[in-house]
Structure 1
Amino acid sequence: MILTTIDPAQPFQPQYSKAIDDLVTFLRSGLGANLHSVYIFGSVAKKTATPHRSNLDVIVVTQQSFAQNRTALINSIRWRFQSSHAHITELSFKTALVSDIASLDSIFSWGFLLRHCAVCVYGENLSECFGDYEPSWEIAKHWNMDVEDWLAVYRHRIVRAKNDDEHLKAQQIIAKKLLRASYSLVIPRTKGWHDDPQICGQEFLRYYPMMQLEIERLSILLSNRVVAKRSVIGLLDSYGDWLVKQFKKTEFRIG
């Protein structure tokens, strides 16, 4: 089964079109000839974004590294967006070199991301360098085999959260990761690909119905309700540990 791609001809939601145009203008001004191409991924790319809730996820591809001025450029763009596009809660950037993407090692990483999860909004569209993908364990494990590291990082962030805003943001991010990682376990059987965390949870339950309570609790973490730290940590330690073990078992069985 060939995975679907995002239709580049479908217009972005009106609330985001001007923001994307401004983003490209800022990047062209800041990077000049070094800028190769720009891509949007996530809910904005899929035209399902919700103002004041959804991030604007961006991939910036350059000819050469711009590590020295990366932080200054991105912070400048974020500052401008705060005043011009207040409905965009956060700008999230991924950066890459053309040489990194045009590599066999990037087939299941950059190749899959550009081909099936992103829309090119400026420059040469590198997604055309890759053919369409089929759902596979190789894709699933690339995107979620790092779940153990995420658990450690966000467990620490939740424990150290100084206020409800920090706590809520951390619990929502790790809940999304765990729901998507859960779905990754069954991708070889479902022969599909979903990104929406709620759908991921429901698809996972088709094969692991005994985890109904855990998936429901993760769904609660996605809401705007701040859940007690001890409850969040308990879920991360118990379900997270089970999920990590399942990934290792699946990798051993499939390879």
Structure 2
Amino acid sequence: MTTTQGLDRDGYIAREGSLDLVPPAFAPVIAAARDRITAAFTSDRLHSAYLYGSIPRGTATPGVSDLDLLLALHHGPTATDRAAAKALEASLDADFPQVDGVGVLLFSTRTLLSELERHDLGWFVACLCTPLLGEDLATRLPRYRPTSLLARETNGDLALALPHWRDRLATADSDAELRALARTVSRRLVRTAFTLVMPRWGGWTSDLTTSAEAFATYYPERAAHLRLAAATARTPTTDRTTLAVLINDLAPWLATEYTTVHGTKAPRP
């Protein structure tokens, strides 16, 4: 049971979502996702499936929120698996106006349970993902506290994203591209800013406003920028000036401060 600031009574991060919290408007989407995943991925390929994001947290808005899925496979994803995931994304997005975009992540169970991913993807499955199909991998993962180690391994690689974001901003030539970039950048910055202060704040949240205000407590001089990022995450913009502020001002500062406070995430292959 959650007691305060996203923790259970023992001080561990509580799993934040549940199928019981899915808003009624999204129930048909989840039912279809379950059926279509089962049809597209045979039991020798699929180990388990999960929801994450605003829908299982119960905060999704019909027509605005996206559907986020993670599929754990028995083996590493193949080209066939990726094609099936793309088809699943497209069909659900086309058939259900309740969702504005569908994303499907694919990982092997070996990766999700690995020591390297213990405090990143493992934590993500155990704390931020809601089981939809199959055996819940959370039973094979530890419990987590809001530590500096968790902060480092979840978001200690922000600097790697900056060149790509700058390239996307420079080459974007449509409103759709700008909105997609705004969503990606703003969500990542809010999440990273929150985990920067998470150990001091002493809890966990995925709420954008709460994240921004928690950050503002410790970095008031950057509060306006983080509130801008949170607002952009809620309503993605096509304004290049806003995106430039986030990508060229807030993001480099945040990447440097993060490394100073928590260190750099362990390199991935």
Q: Please say whether Structure 1 and Structure 2 have the same fold, judged by a TM-score greater than 0.5.
A: yes
Are 2:165 and 1:146 aligned? Answer: no
TM, length-normalised to structure 1: 0.90
Q: Which moved more, 1:79-88 or 1:37-46?
A: 79-88
Aligned to 1:20: 30
Q: Deviations over 1:69-103 (max 9, x none)?
A: 12321232233223421221111111121222233
- Root-mean-square deviation (Å): 2.3
Correspondent of 2:229 among 205, 218, 237: 218
- State the secondary structure of the residue aligned to 1:54: coil
1:200 is aligned with what amino acid?
S
Are 2:232 and 1:237 aligned? Answer: no
- State the secondary structure of the residue aligned to 2:204: coil
Aligned 8 A contact 1:42 1:56 in 2: yes
2:170 is aligned with what amino acid?
V
Q: Which moved more, 1:189-198 or 1:8-17?
A: 8-17
Q: Deviations over 1:133-182 (max 9, x none)?
A: 11011111222112112222222212221122221221232112112211
Q: Deviations over 1:178-207 (max 9, x none)?
A: 122111111111111111222211100101
Q: Percent identity?
A: 19
Are 2:49 and 1:38 aligned? Answer: yes
Are 2:139 and 1:112 aligned? Answer: no
Aligned to 1:159: 170
- Whole-Å separation in 1 of the counterparts to 2:183 and 2:172: 13
- State the secondary structure of the residue aligned to 1:38: strand
- Whole-Å separation in 2 of the counterparts to 1:101 and 1:158: 32
- Whole-Å separation in 2 of the counterparts to 1:66 and 1:240: 31
Q: Deviations over 1:20-43 (max 9, x none)?
A: 222222222222122111010111
- State the secondary structure of the residue aligned to 2:180: helix
Correspondent of 1:208 among 219, 222, 238: 219
Question: Do the aligned partners of residues 217 and 64 (structure 1) sit closer, same or farther apart at CA in structure 2, a change above 3 Å counting?
Answer: closer
- Whole-Å separation in 1 of the counterparts to 2:236 and 2:32: 33
In structure 1, the gaps of 5 or more residues are none
Question: Do the aligned partners of residues 16 and 193 (structure 1) sit closer, same or farther apart at CA in structure 2, a change above 3 Å counting?
Answer: same
Correspondent of 2:96 among 60, 85, 88: 85
TM, length-normalised to structure 2: 0.85
- State the secondary structure of the residue aligned to 2:50: strand
Are 2:258 and 1:247 aligned? Answer: yes
- Whole-Å separation in 2 of the counterparts to 1:173 and 1:99: 27
Query: How many matched pairs?
Result: 254
- Whole-Å separation in 2 of the counterparts to 1:11 and 1:225: 25
- Whole-Å separation in 1 of the counterparts to 2:98 and 2:19: 24
